[in-house]
Amino acid sequence: LYVFHVFQLANYRTPQYIYWPETLRWPTSTQADAQTQTDKLIAQMNSNQAQVKQRLYNLFTSNSNFTEIGTSAWIPDSGPGSYDSFESIHDQIHGTIGGSNYGDMSVVPVSAFDPAFWLHHAMIDRSFALWQALYPDSYVEPMAQKQGAYWYNSGDNLDAETRKL
Ligand SMILES: [Cu+2]
């Protein structure tokens, strides 16, 4: 895997990214001598494959509203239900590659150090492009920010022109 030498301890909540000299997938531990467990990664990816395939199929075939399928932030105003989104699938893949001991792909500040990050995000972009080909008239609808965040306050109106961060 890719070898790198960066880091300032103060920037990371968990110290292993300081002493891991390379990206790790399904690391054996959070200790300095942790090793990637490729067998566990492959087993988990194989285990999840059918479920992720079905979820993508469902998004392509059962929902023509970009706002609803784009992010996991969309929450209907009323009614129980099970909702899915490209972002939720994206999140699951990050965790599946990172594994249970916080491999790089599991943690936002370091996930892009794993070359798998770029393949994964290319697949998410591809999925969006395929969905947009099916539903070319649906796009971002204005909606209020649900929770305060660093750049936005709860209730701020966000739309397609909102600055992406
Ligand atoms: Cu990501």
pLDDT, tens digit, for every residue of 27-59?
999 998 999 999 999 999 999 999 999 999 998
Q: What is the pLDDT of residue 5?
A: 57
Q: pTM for this structure?
A: 0.80
Query: Ligand 1 mean position to 121 CA, how many Å?
Result: 6
Of 1-5, 79-83, 88-92, 112-116, which range is least confident? 79-83
pLDDT band at 109, cuts 50/70/90? confident
Query: Ligand 1 mean position to 90 CA, how many Å?
Result: 6
How far is Cα 124 from Cα 91, in angstroms, rounded to an integer? Answer: 11
**pLDDT at residue 11 tops 90:** no
Count of Cβ atoms closer than 10 Å to residue 65 Cβ: 12
Query: Ligand 1 mean position to 91 CA, how many Å?
Result: 7
Query: Ligand 1 mean position to 125 CA, how many Å?
Result: 11
